[in-house]
Chains A and B, each alone.
Chain A
Amino acid sequence: MKPHRRKKLTIIAFIATGLGVAIGLSLYALSNAIDLFFTPSQIAAGEVNNGQRIRIGGMVKEGSVAKSQDSLHVEFITTDYSHDLLVRYDGILPDLFREGQGVVAEGMVANGVFEASRVLAKHDENYMSVEVKAALDAAERDRNLTEMATEGGPSGS
């Protein structure tokens, strides 16, 4: 390679690396602002002020959804499996909202409860047909039954 070309290539490599490092560091510094939502653990750790408009994200805890009979009011618990947060919401839930699924809610924390003004469903990276899902659920059920049988077996009744 001719010297003037090598020199140019070095300059380009230098610019690209420098910019890459600069952008990388600023993104790292801003990572709290880039995150779309806070987790229940972050809320529990007091990272958010009361009345600050934020988004929270987590799983809808199994068996925690309580819908009002005569209004759109709904309450449910979001969890990241280490901390829980109660969410109150008046409005229409997305079709994919269900227990055990991810959810992102917009609103504010007031007295340890999250007052949501909007609820979005989060889809995970698992795609499968109805049949496969049914087969997986059946396998899960069988495993649970066997575990219960082996645990309860020796002691008897």
Chain B
Amino acid sequence: MWQWFFRLGSPKWFYEMSGKWLPWLLVLMTVLMSVGILWALLFVPQDYQQGDTIRIMYVHVPVASISLACFPLMAVAGVITLVWKMKLADMVAKCAAPIGAWFTAVALATGAIWGQPIWGTWWAWDARLTSMLIQFFLLIGVIALRSAIESPDAAAKACALLAIVGAINVPIIKYSVEWWNTLHQPSSDFSMDENSAFGPEIWVPLVIMIFAVYIFFVISLILSTRNEILQRERRSQWVVDIVAKEQV
């Protein structure tokens, strides 16, 4: 029963499979991203209050929501690292941290750029913004912790633990706008009715952008993990073979 699970954990298997997936993912992302961005920038109607500022949402919301996926991913990888000592899980966790930190930073930046004209301030110490900033610092912490510990095994264990602890922040970010009163608005409800708030003309391009950015995240993670695999497995025969082939 566990066989597929351990095969999934083999760096060689992942390297070969991800090599096959990458072109498809790239094509899918390019299509979705171009459609989403063009739609959001050119065809989404102006908001009745925000005007063109609403277009910031089409970057902010996908990037912010996908940045929330980073810690759960690292926590699951961390549990696998601690319990099953699977090498691939730790490689994925290591590569996810900087990508997640960038996503969180972009979410914070686009949020501030939106907040200035709409709220009248770049920043407020409300629960949503602050918990998001904490996620950013936690990710920086994970990266710093990894580079501070010399032994790779010890670093893997320490980072796995920090990732599991840090994942507790994710539901806090998600529900902060409901549990406390904040300046940040709560999530909108999708409406199928064209003549209502947050109707299809607003959310369809948003959903496209969410998928596009999700695939972008996955591609970044795969590319980065492949690098890490080559780096860590450089002494194994199959990597030596690949390098020899590439050098011809």
Interface residues of A (CB under 8 A from B): 5, 8-9, 12, 15-16, 19-20, 23, 27, 31, 34-37, 39, 57, 93-97, 104, 119-133, 135-136, 139
Please tell me which stretch of B26-34, B196-204, B219-227, B233-241 contacts chain A, meaning at least 4 of its Cβ atoms lie within 8 angstroms of it.
B196-204
Q: Considering only CB atoms, which chain A residue lies closest to B126 in the complex?
A: A36
Cβ–Cβ contact A124 & B185, under 8 A: yes
Cβ–Cβ contact A8 & B185, under 8 A: no
Within the complex, the shortest CB–CB distance from A150 to chain B, in Å, comes to 24
Cβ–Cβ contact B197 & A96, under 8 A: no
Find chain B residues with CB under 8 A from A119 CB. 120
Main secondary structure of the interface of B (DSSP, over half): loop
Using A127-B47, A132-B199 as known contacts, list a sample of 14 further A-B pairs with CB atoms less than 8 Å apart, ordered by residue number in A: A12-B79, A23-B168, A31-B180, A36-B125, A94-B120, A96-B120, A104-B124, A120-B124, A123-B49, A127-B50, A127-B188, A127-B202, A129-B45, A133-B48
Number of A-B contacts (CB under 8 A): 123
Q: Which 3 A-B pairs have the closest CB atoms?
A: A94-B120, A129-B45, A126-B197
> In whole angstroms, what is the CA distance A132 to B126 when docked?
31
Within the complex, the shortest CB–CB distance from B9 to chain A, in Å, comes to 14
Find chain B residues with CB under 8 A from A128 CB. 47-48, 196-199, 202
Q: With A36-B126, A125-B185 known to touch, is A12 a contact of B196 (CB < 8 Å)?
A: no
